[in-house]
Amino acid sequence: MMKRLIITALFLVPALSSAASVSVVLDTMHQSVNTLEATIRYPQGVSIDRVEDGDSVLLIWVKPPVIDNIAHTVTFTGLTPGGFEGVRPVLSLTGDFKESDVSAFSASGVTALLNDGKGTPAKVKLTLVPGVVVADTESPEPFTPVFAESVDIFGGERFISFLTQDKQTGVERYEYAATRFLNPGSTDWQSAESPYIVPQSDYSKTLYIRAVDRAGNSRISSIAGPTRTRSRLEWGILFVLIACVLYFRRRFF
């Protein structure tokens, strides 16, 4: 009786897929191209959890990769100023499937443009191959926000520009915060895109940009606001700290 129950239970347990990855690779067929658009299709029963584009040959996403687990597609449009040539990685798809499922993936609507300044269509080849799932524990690369203003942009309002890369899962989002003295708290951050118009109320503060990759790793860079000066309170705190350090050094050393 027990043996029969165990066998029945085994049949009732659904088959489990394991985490796997598929890499999308572009072959430009000995041509220099600068734009690529495509739709990756995957079979029923496969679920895509994330897209990794940290090592993508496409530097700018006109349409960032969009996962649709109902239509079973991932669509994207990207470009690289100056063009590129050869066999290059585009992106990787990671999700709940087996390596044997990769043979059922396909690419459609593939459109590429030559880097000839005319937007001439190019015949290219997209290949889908099994990839390797690697845990992303690295933060996005260091970067420095840049302050700027122009009468031709945002009506002359001051803004900051920022950009970085993440070589594994890719940068998912940027966040902005501004504080006068202390580091930003968890509630100070808000979503931001480059270029970002800086409110006049933040001109006298320290401005922070946080880049977050798709694995949750982050990198924070800061820049002083255009009218940033230390307040009397800040100078007072610094004076007290210096005085305490000098006192303890004389007392104990």
67 and 48 Cβ atoms separated by less than 8 Å:
yes
Q: Strand 19-27 to strand 121-122: parallel, antiparallel, or no bridges (unpaired)?
A: unpaired
Q: What is the pTM of this model?
A: 0.61
On average, the pLDDT of the chain sits at: 85
Residue 90, pLDDT score? 96
Kindly list the domain boundaries of the chain, sorted by start residue.
Answer: 19-130, 146-231
Picking from 160, 182, 181, 164, the residue whose alpha carbon sits closest to that of residue 172 is 164
CB 179 within 8 A of CB 205: yes
- CATH-assigned architecture of domain 19-130: Sandwich (2.60)
Structure confidence at residue 251 (pLDDT): 66
Residue type, 11: F
d(CA 118, CA 95): 38
pLDDT at 229: 60
CA distances from 31 to 84, 120, 124, 126 (A): 8, 11, 9, 14
**Phi and psi torsions of 155, nearest 5°:** 65, 25
What's the pLDDT at 12? 39
**Pairing relationship of beta strands 146-148 and 125-130 according to DSSP bridges:** unpaired
Q: Please answer whether residues 134 and 178 qualify as being in contact, where contact means their C-beta atoms are separated by less than 8 angstroms.
A: no
Neighbour tally for 174: CB within 10 Å: 21
Q: How far is CA 71 from CA 75, 105, 187, 239, in A?
A: 11, 13, 36, 62
Distance CA 59, CA 66 (A): 16
Edge-to-edge order in the sheet of strand 146-148: 146-148, 159-161, 196-197
Residues in the chain predicted with pLDDT less than 50, given as ranges, are: 1-17
State the virtual CA torsion across 10, 15, 19, 23 in degrees, nearest 10: 150
Q: Number of C-alpha atoms within 13 angstroms, CB side, residue 148?
A: 14
Alpha-carbon distance of 50 to 66, in angstroms, equals 9
